[in-house]
Every structure is written in structure tokens, then in C-alpha cells.
């Protein structure tokens, strides 16, 4: 069976956690061999650590999202820091900047992005970045704060929806770019062009469970087993087999996250 890695899913979200055993059974039956579970608060991380004990193919990443740093950033940072430094996380994130919504002031988002970047560097873990309408500030901070021996430290732009120029700047920094079910949406022509442009060795795929179900499932709660539709769409765009796309993106995820 073709094996896939879902590089970004919120498995311990309230929207899916009550049915997580059935969801993970469906994921395995669909060929999902590993999932990076993104934890955004104390509850989701505690659940994620227990989930990983039960399912060794589940891996955790954690940070406070840019949306929530105004309300929870200071209180939660020591908790996230502790688990990162204890080696319990494969990545720090999702952190980043979001200027589309205004849930947290820009300056505070930037402050916590810097703190999480420094945490990732100190723990030698990659970062998972959320960025929306904030790429200029993101690149400035990455270039100033996230460089080791003249090279950018590792990371991924998750659920990329920026421009082709912004995608090129991500790739120039040696980063990975992750595509979600949005690439399957009828009006996502520009994102499909980016999918065509991104080299296979810099590409990840994700569901962002429970959000952003692909086109044929729109309007329902997303889950990792739906990753196959996204993968098949990208494989067709890039004129490669589904197996080649799965292997390349799985290899990339394992290389980035170190499992």
C-alpha cells in the first residue's frame, strides 16, 4: 500500500478527539503511516503526549498560535518550552504571524514568534510556521533571528496560501512548503500553479484536521484519511504517480521532523 505522512493535523482538537480511535483506524486503512499532531494549548499537548504513547506513529509539535498569544502566550510559553526541552516534540509550532485576523497585536505576534524561533534553535527542532498576509515581516524576522552558520535553520510554511513570489522566497531559504486541501478547491488555480512549481524535494502535504476538508468533502470535519484526495490532486498537477508523490513527501517529512 502507498504510504503517506500527514505533516499537520490537530488530532487533539475538541472537534475530533472524541472519535480519535476511529479516525486513526481510517487513517491507517487509507495508507497514512505517520501524523504530526499540532498542539496549541495545555490540554491538546497533554492529550497529544498520551496519544503518542498509544499510537507510536503519532508525533507532536506545540506552540501558541499567533491568534492566541494575546490571551495565552505568556502563560503557556513555559509549558511549551518545558516539553520542547525534554525532547517530547518533533517541532516547535505552529507559530508565526497572521495579519488577516486581528486576534493579537502585530507586535505581540512578532515577540512570540522570536521566542519560539529561539526555542527551536536551542532544542535543535524545526519550526512549523503559520503565515497569512504577513510574509514581509516574517522573512525579516527569519533572516535576523533564525540563521545558523550563515544558513536558515529548518522549518515549514504550513497550509501555504501565499503568492508564487512568496513561495519562491520560502524555497530560497531552504524551507519546505506544505499544501492542504485548499489546493483541491475549485477556485484555487493560483495555488495549483504553485504546487506545479514547488520541487518535489521541498514539498509536504497535510490535512490541517479538522479544518479545510478537500473539495469532495467540503463542509464536513476533515480527517487524515482525506489526505489522499489532496495528494492525488497534486500528483496530477505535477504529472507524477501518486506513489512517487507519497514517497517524496513522506521522505521530506521524515527528514524535516527527524522520525
pLDDT, tens digit (0-9, with 9 covering 90-100), for 81-108: 999 999 999 999 999 999 998 889 999 9
Q: Residue 231: which residues within 8 A CB-CB, separation 6 or more?
A: 4, 205, 242, 245, 246, 249
Which of 149, 144, 41, 156 has its CA nearest to residue 91?
156
Output the pLDDT for position 102.
83
Residue 254: pLDDT band with limits 50, 70, 90:
very high
Output the pLDDT for position 101.
86
Residue 113 pLDDT more than 80?
yes
Residue 236 pLDDT more than 80?
yes
Which of 205, 206, 134, 127 has its CA nearest to residue 173?
127
CATH of domain 4-257: 3.20.20.140
| Stretch 225-251: mean pLDDT | 98
97 with 109: CB under 8 angstroms?
Answer: yes
Mean pLDDT for the chain overall: 97
Q: Residue 151: which residues within 8 A CB-CB, separation 6 or more?
A: 174
| Stretch 33-57: mean pLDDT | 98
213 with 222: CB under 8 angstroms?
Answer: yes
| Stretch 10-39: mean pLDDT | 98
Grid coordinates given for 75: 502563560
Please indicate, yes or no, whether the overall pTM of this predicted structure exceeds 0.95: yes
Output the pLDDT for position 1.
75
204 with 180: CB under 8 angstroms?
Answer: no
Residue 34: pLDDT band with limits 50, 70, 90:
very high
Residues 143-201 pLDDT 10s: 999 999 999 999 999 999 999 999 999 999 999 999 999 999 999 999 999 999 999 99
Cis peptide bond upstream of 94, omega within 30: yes
| Stretch 211-240: mean pLDDT | 98
Taking the domains of the chain in order of start, what are their residue ranges?
4-257
Output the pLDDT for position 46.
98
Which of 222, 189, 228 has its CA nearest to residue 205?
228
Amino acid at each position: 500500500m502507498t504510504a503517506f505522512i500527514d505533516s499537520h493535523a490537530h488530532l487533539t482538537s475538541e472537534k475530533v478527539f472524541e472519535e480519535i480511535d476511529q479516525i486513526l483506524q481510517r487513517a491507517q486503512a487509507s495508507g497514512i503511516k505517520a501524523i504530526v499532531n499540532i498542539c496549541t494549548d495545555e490540554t491538546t499537548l497533554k492529550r497529544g503526549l498520551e496519544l503518542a504513547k498509544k499510537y507510536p506513529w503519532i508525533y507532536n509539535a506545540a506552540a501558541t498560535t499567533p491568534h492566541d498569544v494575546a490571551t495565552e502566550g505568556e502563560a503557556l510559553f513555559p509549558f511549551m518550552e518545558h516539553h520542547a526541552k525534554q525532547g517530547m516534540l518533533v517541532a516547535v509550532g505552529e507559530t508565526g504571524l497572521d495579519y488577516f485576523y486581528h486576534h493579537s497585536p502585530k507586535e505581540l505576534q512578532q515577540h512570540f514568534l522570536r521566542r519560539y524561533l529561539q526555542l527551536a534553535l536551542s532544542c535543535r527542532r524545526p519550526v512549523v510556521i503559520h503565515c497569512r498576509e504577513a510574509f514581509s515581516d516574517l522573512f525579516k524576522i527569519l533572516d535576523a533571528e533564525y540563521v545558523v552558520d550563515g544558513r536558515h535553520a529548518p522549518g515549514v510554511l504550513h497550509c501555504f496560501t501565499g503568492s508564487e513570489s512568496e513561495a519562491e522566497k520560502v524555497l530560497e531559504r531552504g524551507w519546505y512548503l506544505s499544501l492542504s486541501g485548499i489546493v483541491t478547491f475549485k477556485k484555487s488555480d493560483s495555488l495549483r500553479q504553485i504546487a506545479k512549481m514547488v520541487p518535489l524535494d521541498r514539498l509536504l502535504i497535510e490535512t490541517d484536521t479538522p479544518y479545510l476538508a478537500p473539495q469532495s468533502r467540503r463542509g464536513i470535519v476533515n480527517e487524515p484519511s482525506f489526505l489522499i484526495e489532496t495528494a492525488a490532486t497534486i500528483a496530477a498537477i505535477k504529472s507524477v504517480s501518486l506513489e512517487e508523490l507519497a514517497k517524496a513527501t513522506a521522505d521530506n517529512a521524515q527528514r524535516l521532523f527527524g522520525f
